[in-house]
């Protein structure tokens, strides 16, 4: 590296709380890049999930500003869909948040960065021209049209199909101004490339904190205990939880009457809470997921809808959980069926059979626990946050060289 870099991050949400998966990358990337001597400034939208006082992450940035998440409006959305000249604002009044536009321009003047890194999709892409003349890249996390495509396959109706059509059209042009578009899995890259073959796409997975998410030898897994974690305001997590409740747990308990299910995470809706019982625990938000992972005999992840990499699976593997998961749950994760994870389709009988097999077969359970942790520890898989930061650092430098700024 020739010199420390100055990076301006523009994010759709604050990097906190870390129990929500879309916060992890900005938080850990800032921490790792700061440790490498780089300087970061943050501009973020407040989506209401983070505490109003940013003390929890202030130390990661030289400066930070958080702005109300603005309404984007159907009229503006449709206009940009149908009118190419309206897609990328060039004036402050044309964007959803004039405050964000002004903050970007002000930071470019007072604290000039080497590069501008946008995190998010429709909520941040429109500020591309605010970053000019500095090179910019964007990490949209996932292909939203891929997410909706899978939702249609899972039975989504006309509204979902209309949203998929709109998302495909947006994703065919919304990332065009950026020097790089970074997604978390090869499947997301393929989906975006099919919409726009000219996009300069890169795949850099999310990481996991191997020190924090480590096996706890003082906690023994509870026999016949099943756990699933997530933010249950996110529809794919709610769908998976209801699948576990209605289809999987009764079948497991028919074979193993003492089996229990823990649903651990924020924002459980009423239709989950209504099922709570002695053998079906819905915790709501917890300060620390790790004790629940440590006590689980099996981590069950029956996602049927979604896109991007699943941080919950990375964390479970790192904690040396034995994991049963659907193929969709494993996008971007280099596991091998029967060695580091047990893969089962989202069919009630097939998924139940896999869960029972892990619960009752101790040698297999131990093999999956050891193999899963080995996947995360393997440096070739790049699931450590320091490895993720190194890849972003290299990408920044490549962009700067291409732009004649290094």
Is the domain of 106 the same as that of 155?
yes
What is the average pLDDT across 237-265? Answer: 97
**pLDDT tens, 212-230?**
999 988 998 999 999 999 9
Report residue 370: phi and psi, to 5°.
-70, -45
Is the domain of 201 the same as that of 232?
no
Is the domain of 173 the same as that of 230?
no
Q: Collect all residues with Cβ–Cβ distance below 8 Å to 29 and sequence separation of at least 6.
A: 385, 388, 389, 392
Is the domain of 187 the same as that of 334?
no
Residues counted in the chain = 406
The least confident of 106-115, 122-131, 373-382 is 373-382
Beta bridge partners of 11: 44, 119
In a domain, 212, yes or no: no
Burial 60-72, CB ≥16 within 10 A → b, else e: bbeebbbeebeee
In a domain, 214, yes or no: no
Is the domain of 13 the same as that of 158?
yes
What is the average pLDDT across 106-133? Answer: 97
- How many whole angstroms separate alpha carbon 194 and alpha carbon 189? 9
Is the domain of 65 the same as that of 171?
yes
Which pLDDT score, from 0 to 100, does residue 191 have? 96
Residue 360, domain CATH: 3.40.50.2000
In a domain, 362, yes or no: yes
161 alpha-carbon distance from chain centroid: 23
- How many whole angstroms separate alpha carbon 40 and alpha carbon 31? 10
In a domain, 217, yes or no: no
Is the domain of 150 the same as that of 68?
yes
**pLDDT tens, 279-330?**
999 999 898 999 999 999 999 999 999 999 999 999 999 999 999 999 999 9
Domain that holds residue 339: 225-381
Which pLDDT score, from 0 to 100, does residue 2 have? 65
- Total structural domains within the chain: 2
Which pLDDT score, from 0 to 100, does residue 155 have? 85
Q: Collect all residues with Cβ–Cβ distance below 8 Å to 77 and sequence separation of at least 6.
A: 166
Q: Is the pLDDT of residue 384 over 70?
A: yes
Terminal Cα-to-Cα distance of the chain (whole angstroms): 10
Is the domain of 271 the same as that of 368?
yes
The least confident of 19-28, 170-179, 305-314, 347-356 is 19-28
Confidence category of residue 170, pLDDT binned at 50, 70, 90: very high
Which pLDDT score, from 0 to 100, does residue 240 have? 97
In a domain, 1, yes or no: no
Is the domain of 175 the same as that of 317?
no
Is the domain of 271 the same as that of 357?
yes
Q: Per-residue DSSP letters for 131-175?
A: GTTS-EEEEEES-HHHHHHHHHHTT--HHHHHHHHHHHHHHTTTT
Is the domain of 11 the same as that of 112?
yes
Q: Is the pLDDT of residue 253 over 70?
A: yes
**pLDDT tens, 8-57?**
999 999 998 887 878 899 999 999 999 999 999 999 999 887 776 788 89
Q: What is the average pLDDT score of the chain?
A: 94
Is the domain of 19 the same as that of 148?
yes
In a domain, 215, yes or no: no
Which helix (H) or strand (E) covers residue 348, if one does?
helix 348-360
In a domain, 14, yes or no: yes
In a domain, 288, yes or no: yes
**pLDDT tens, 75-103?**
888 899 889 999 999 999 999 999 999 99
């Amino acid at each position: 590296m020739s010199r420390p870099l100055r990076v301006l991050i523009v994010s759709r949400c604050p990097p906190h709380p870390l129990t929500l998966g879309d916060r992890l990358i900005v938080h850990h990337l800032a921490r790792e890049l700061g440790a490498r001597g780089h300087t970061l400034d943050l501009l973020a939208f407040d989506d209401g999930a983070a505490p109003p006082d940013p003390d929890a992450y202030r130390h990661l940035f030289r400066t930070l500003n958080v702005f109300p998440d603005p309404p984007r409006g159907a009229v503006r959305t449709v206009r940009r869909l149908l009118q190419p000249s309206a897609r990328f604002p060039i004036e402050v009044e044309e964007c959803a948040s004039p405050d964000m536009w002004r903050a970007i321009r002000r930071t470019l003047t007072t604290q000039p960065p080497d590069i501008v890194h946008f995190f998010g999709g429709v909520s941040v892409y429109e500020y591309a021209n605010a970053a000019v003349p500095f090179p910019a890249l964007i990490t949209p996390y996932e292909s939203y049209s891929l997410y909706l495509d899978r939702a249609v396959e899972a039975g989504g109706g006309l509204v979902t199909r209309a949203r998929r059509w709109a998302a495909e059209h947006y994703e065919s042009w919304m990332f065009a101004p950026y020097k790089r578009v970074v997604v978390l899995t090869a499947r997301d890259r393929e989906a975006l490339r099919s919409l726009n073959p000219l996009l300069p796409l890169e795949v850099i997975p999310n990481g996991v904190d191997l020190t924090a998410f480590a096996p706890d030898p003082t906690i023994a897994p509870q026999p016949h205990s099943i756990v699933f974690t997530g933010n249950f305001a996110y529809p794919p997590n709610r769908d998976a939880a209801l699948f576990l409740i209605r289809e999987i747990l009764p079948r497991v308990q028919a074979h193993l009457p003492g089996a229990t299910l823990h649903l651990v995470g924020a924002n459980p809706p009423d239709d989950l809470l209504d099922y709570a019982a002695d053998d079906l625990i819905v915790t709501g938000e917890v300060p620390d997921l790790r004790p629940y992972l440590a006590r689980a005999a099996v981590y069950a992840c029956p996602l049927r809808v979604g896109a991007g990499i699943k941080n919950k699976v990375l964390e479970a593997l790192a904690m040396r959980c034995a994991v049963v998961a659907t193929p969709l749950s494993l996008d971007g994760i280099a596991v091998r069926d029967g060695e580091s994870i047990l893969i089962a389709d989202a069919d009630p009988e097939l998924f139940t059979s896999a869960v029972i097999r892990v619960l009752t077969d101790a040698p297999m359970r131990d093999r999956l626990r050891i193999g899963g942790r080995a996947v995360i520890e393997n440096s070739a898989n790049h699931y450590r946050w320091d490895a993720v930061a190194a890849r972003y650092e290299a990408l920044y430098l490549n962009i700067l060289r291409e732009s004649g700024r290094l």
